[in-house]
Chain A
Amino acid sequence: MNTSPQHHPDKNILTEFAAGCLESAPAIAVSTHLHYCSHCRNDVHKLEEIGAALFSTSINDDVARQDIELTSANDGAFASLMQVIDTQKSIQQDLPSGENTPLTTTTLAKKYTLLPKVVQKMMTDNPIQWRTVTRNLRSANLVAGQDKYAVSLQKIRSGGQVPEHEHTASEITVVLKGSFSDEDSVYQQGDFLLKNAGDRHQPLASNNEDCLCLSVEQAPVKLTGFFMRLLNRFISFTPA
């Protein structure tokens, strides 16, 4: 079984991710892809090294450092920093990523526990409500701490085809489980697919299992309420 993704984010998306100027919803999609793709993790690290090089050369010798009001550079600033550190109640020497407690006590079904942590958190923070979009497609909204993108889970029934539809806004799809194909290619676990506004396709899930995907769709207008989100997706259908 092929285990590494074949479809990746464009370099400019990875650059914005590494530079930290990618918005959080598409960043979640990139992060999800990185969970499965060592090739892109390597690329992101190289992009971070470029960032570090720029960061390290940000001070020009020509620009007199004295001009910059550097209270940080004198002993007073260091002393106050040490004071803050010394008075902190718990100084963590271990690995970071504080184990933030989820907002609910929902436990995730076993089949989902290998999903990327960020996806698991979204699935447990708020109750998942699966809605039927078409006979073969169900959708569940995810809350991602922002309102510029519609983030959701999409589940295509095994062997099922989603009717041809046109995207009204750009959408990123990352395959979490199973696989689907469209006119262009086959997409498997970890694959990252960007569709632009106006693109059309007819995803077909493989026969052996349902296909579960993370979807991040740019909202062309500010979305209010659940039904608006549902309606905004797949606005134009051609009968299957």
Chain B
Amino acid sequence: MTSTNSSSSAILDNHRSTHVQTSHAYSNKVGSIHINKVTVSGMTIQTPTNTKKAPLKKWNDLLVTLGVDQDRAAFKALFEHFSPLLKNYFIGKYPNQSSYQMIEELIQEVMIKVWQKAASYDPTKAAASTWIFTLARNTRIDMLRRQNKYANTTSIETEDIWEDTTENGPYTFLTHKRDEVLIKEKVLLLPDDQQTVIRKVYMEAKSHTEVATELGLPLGTVKSRVRLAQKKLQAMLAETKQNEL
């Protein structure tokens, strides 16, 4: 559904990405679309110059296309968007320069899973970013299990414990790509102390206890800051969902 109303909603509709610094053309089956850079509240956002009837595909749609057709153009677009995010994600757990080679391999491992599993991706059950986040998380867990000498005493796989997030549902949060701009803005609005702790838990794979030890805080304080951050983020996610209706 494309909106043809105010210019602000045209900016937020069908945006493609907020972080790529250079403009470039993206080709899909519909045709070529050129992208301009627009600055909104200090952040660079790319918008299609053609806001009429040739919308850029959302990440969800790209994943579906990939699953149906093994569409390589779609896969390349996904790769270009997600591999930098994956790199940052794995750096969180493995910040040392000596790990960069391993990180490149982990990124490749996740993208291969994206390729292999795209056919089972259901956009009504999870947003593309959620789906790919869980693939990345499970890949990180796999890495740790491989380093564990007891791992081969059992046939249990990571996916037996951390099951595919789309197996249940349907979940109605975050089904549209255009949420991502708003979410990015709002995540950055979280108070620093909350952002710090919640990023350590998710992005650096640290337990609440480890975070408390590292920051020299009482465990209860860490738990309540994480809870507060979660409540705010969930409210934001719910709000962006409502705004679409």
A residues adjacent to B (C-beta < 8 A) = 11-12, 15-17, 19-22, 24, 27-28, 31, 34, 38, 41-42, 44-59, 61, 64-66, 68-73, 77-78, 80-82, 84-85, 88, 91-98, 100-103, 117-118, 121-122, 125-126, 143-147
Contact = CB atoms under 8 A, between A and B. Distances in A.
Smallest CB-CB A-B distances: 4 pairs: A145-B154, A52-B133, A72-B83, A20-B137
Interface string B16-56: 00111100000000000000000000111000000000000
B23 to A, nearest CB: 14
A51 B15 CA distance: 21
Contact of A45 (B141, B169, B206, B227): B169
Contacts, number: 229
B116 A92 contact: yes
B157 interface: yes
Interface string B143-173: 0010010111111110111111100110101
Contacts of B126: 45
Given A81-B79, A97-B160, A122-B156, A51 B208 contact: no
A50 B116 contact: no
B226 A102 contact: no
Contacts of A92: 116-117
Contacts of B207: 16, 21-22
SS class, residues of chain B in contact with chain A: helix
Interface string B213-238: 00000000001001100100110010
Interface in B66-90: 67, 72, 76, 79-80, 83-89
A122 B234 contact: no
On chain B, which size bracket covers the interface? Answer: 35 or more
B100 A69 contact: yes
B111 A81 contact: yes
Given A72-B83, A122-B154, A54 B187 contact: yes
B150 A52 contact: no
Contacts of A34: 163
A68 B137 CA distance: 21
A146 B141 CA distance: 13
B35 to A, nearest CB: 16
Nearest to A93: B119
A146 B43 CA distance: 46
A121 B180 CA distance: 39
Contacts of A146: 148, 150
A27 B134 CA distance: 15
**Which residue of B42, B113, B198 has the most chain A CB atoms within 10 A of its CB atom?**
B198
Interface in B127-142: 127, 129-130, 132-134, 136-138, 140-141
A15 B203 contact: no
B62 interface: no
B105 to A, nearest CB: 10
A68 B116 contact: no
A224 B141 CA distance: 26
Contacts of A19: 137, 201-202, 205
24 contacts: A15-B226, A20-B205, A21-B207, A31-B160, A31-B163, A42-B168, A42-B171, A46-B237, A50-B233, A55-B136, A56-B180, A56-B184, A59-B19, A65-B20, A66-B21, A72-B84, A73-B80, A78-B79, A81-B79, A95-B164, A100-B155, A101-B155, A145-B153, A147-B150
Nearest to A95: B120
Contact of A73 (B43, B83, B165): B83
Contacts of B1: none
Given A45-B168, A118-B161, A122-B156, A59 B84 contact: yes
B201 to A, nearest CB: 5
Contacts of B19: 59, 61, 65
Nearest to A46: B234
A49 B127 contact: yes
A51 B148 contact: no
A45 B171 contact: yes
B187 A57 contact: yes
Given A49-B174, A70-B84, A121 B198 contact: no
Interface string B109-123: 001110111011000
Nearest to B224: A12
Contact of A15 (B120, B132, B163, B230): B230
Contact of A55 (B116, B120, B202): B202
